[in-house]
Amino acid sequence: MASTVKLLFCFLLTISFLPLFPLSSSAKQHPLDPLTPAEFNLVKIIIKRAYRLVPHNITFQYVGLDEPEKQAVFLWQSNPARIPHRRARVVTRLNKQTHDIIVDISTRSVFSDKIYQGNGFPLLTKEEQKAATELVLGYGPFKASMKKRGLNISDVGCVTSTVGWFGEKKSTRVLKIRCFYTEGTINMYLRPIVGITIVVDLDEIKISEYHDRKIAPIPKPEPTEYRLSHMKPPFGPRMNNVATVTANGPGFTLDGHTIKWANWNLHVGFDARIGSVISMASIYDLEKHKYRRVMYRGYISELFVPYMDPSEGWYYVTYFDNGEFGFGLTAVPLEPLNDCPANAVFMDGYFAGQDGSPVKSSNAICIFERHSGDIMWRHTEAELPGDVREVRPEVSLVVRMVATVGNYDYILDWEFKPSGSIKMGVGLTGVLEVKPVTYTNVDQIKEDAHGTLIAENTIGVFHDHFLNYYLDLDIDGDANSFVKTNLVTKRNTEAKTPRKSYWIVERETAKTEFDARIVLDSKPVQLALVNPNKKTKMGNHVGYRLVPGFAASPLLTADDYPQIRAAFTNYNVWVTPYNKSEKWAAGDYVDQSHGDDDLLTWTDRNRAIENKDIVLWYTIGFHHATCQEDFPVMPTMSGGFELRPTNFFEYNPVLKVIPPKHVTWPNCTAKP
């Protein structure tokens, strides 16, 4: 037996540094590459070996890269021989305790092991959620409840729901189970079975609470179908095919996880909790003849989705999708030609299953050039003879992932433009959370329905989506400052002209974290991260400006328990000094958290942020007042924001972009 283990260990040792995506034979491991399947297996062996004398099973709740210190990564960048230690962060459950473990893959050993004593529990595994729902479907009282309602148990599907925190001093690790009736439809979320409370204890693997409170009607299945193969005439318009395939293949190169495209160089990773990760994005400056740093690390750190029905069956439905369920764990395979265009290249992702073994997420990320038909820049000298005209078409690079967390599908884009801009886009689609009612017309509703009547007997419940982005910007270096440029109206006191007013800018550099907490739309302001140590030839500090999307602030009261846990939504913008341990806006352990280890708590220290390595946290929000067009599947609702160069370059960085060659265009009447 010992020899077998030794042989296995040696085998893992030889393969643990193979690239995760062997798209290029020249690919070498980058310090920020996600863990490979071989590394997941090696971590599993190291953990199991360290706890081999423990009689109880260990469950792996989260396994991901423990990223090296930034300076170690930059040293490696300048000298690839100086490879930082390769480490994994492992969160396990053992004997009803949460262990936060660092495994040193380089030395094949446990570097540290801390038992978490605070509030909250780790990321849920897919396996324990499945076990909880199967437990309910086999539970005698539940079967009796279904029989009492005249429902066939074989047509019942159940999902897990976190229970939140509502002032309890001590919590047990539990989930609530919500069930749906699938007879006549695969769109199960639109046929909820209500009136039953089911609580499953995850540590004991048992149903700890069961109440059948009332019987309510279930919406009809007929109008809920969305599969084209099951549709009946009349049909909508047929979409024309559009091929976006370049003659020479993709316009970018992919070496392992590193992408080179146009004037950009960046790294793409994958993580069980946060999904896609962009690292070390830099842009080539023609004037300076070098790549300049823009963003060290960027990802969605948390997504908060509170529903607006405070009744017994709904009050706890306040999801934290990243910290409870995981964007990476819920990433779905992207469908060529529909999710991503014909010119896309796909990446697989990997995460650890509950037993620590690697699980493949096929086609989790796609990368493609977007030929949108937009204009990069143009100008016509209309007043001069000869009609001088110059136009450049917009082409950008997109890194896309889709996470399906329960009923919602989130389309998550990072878009890089040759101008230096980075656009973050999110699309919301999927199926609404609904509750059954007796109403068939809004005139029948006399009380607060907490939603819109979107179909007969069906209320689409009001809710919010708040996505917080972690943006570790290193604008031409890691010593940056956060500058607020206030637009201030002035009265014209110059009597020589009839103008009465104008506006000026008043710049203010944030000294501390309190200075950088901002609620947008309260007054006209432009926000930027600048490098106070570097100037353009004109004397302006180089920087990047935050161009917000539409602003949404929380409408829950500050003392409401879900809002206490989601305090990162209190402000649209936060800035913190870089701290490797401060990664996730709602804290490390979000399930049943108390809001005592999160972005608000960290910034309450009011640390200095001027001319330091700082992180920008930006929250984009959607208030979703549901409507009939959201039924039975919701057309994509999109939002986003932009990081745009501001005095970063000496002049327009795409002035000298060469447009693509013109091809025959039969519908064009004018000659190019």
Active site residues: 321, 408
CA–CA distance, 518 with 570 (Å, rounded to integer)? 9
Q: Is 154 helix (H, G, I), strand (E, B) or coil?
A: helix
CA–CA distance, 272 with 329 (Å, rounded to integer)? 5
DSSP secondary structure string for all residues of 87-145: EEEEEEEETTEEEEEEEETTTTEEEEEEEE-SS-B-PPPHHHHHHHHHHHHT-HHHHHH
* Cβ density class 641-665: b for 16+ within 10 Å, e for less: bbbbbbbbbeeebbeebeeeeeeee
What are φ and ψ of residue 311, in 5° steps?
Answer: -75, 175
With vertex at residue 670, the alpha carbon angle to CA 666 and CA 672, rounded to the nearest 5 degrees, is: 95
CA–CA distance, 52 with 45 (Å, rounded to integer)? 10
Beta carbons within 10 angstroms of residue 84's beta carbon:
16
CA–CA distance, 339 with 411 (Å, rounded to integer)? 9
Radius of gyration from C-alpha coordinates of the chain = 27
Helix orientation angle between 37-50 and 2-15, rounded to the nearest 10 degrees: 140
Cis check for the bond before 632: say yes or no (omega within 30 of 0): yes
DSSP character at residue 307: B
DSSP character at residue 510: -
Structural contact between residues 481 and 530, judged by C-beta atoms closer than 8 angstroms: yes
Structural contact between residues 595 and 568, judged by C-beta atoms closer than 8 angstroms: no
Residue with tokens 């893992």: 12
CA–CA distance, 176 with 406 (Å, rounded to integer)? 14
Q: What is the dihedral of CA 571, 572, 578, 580, to 10 degrees?
A: 90
Structural contact between residues 304 and 563, judged by C-beta atoms closer than 8 angstroms: no
Tokens of 580: 């490797």
Nearest CA-CA partner of 403 in 428, 437, 385:
428
Cis check for the bond before 234: say yes or no (omega within 30 of 0): yes
CA distances from 1 to 14, 135, 144, 334, 356 (A): 20, 36, 50, 42, 21
- Measured over the CA atoms of residue 622, residue 427, residue 603 and residue 648, the dihedral's sign is negative
CA–CA distance, 70 with 111 (Å, rounded to integer)? 19
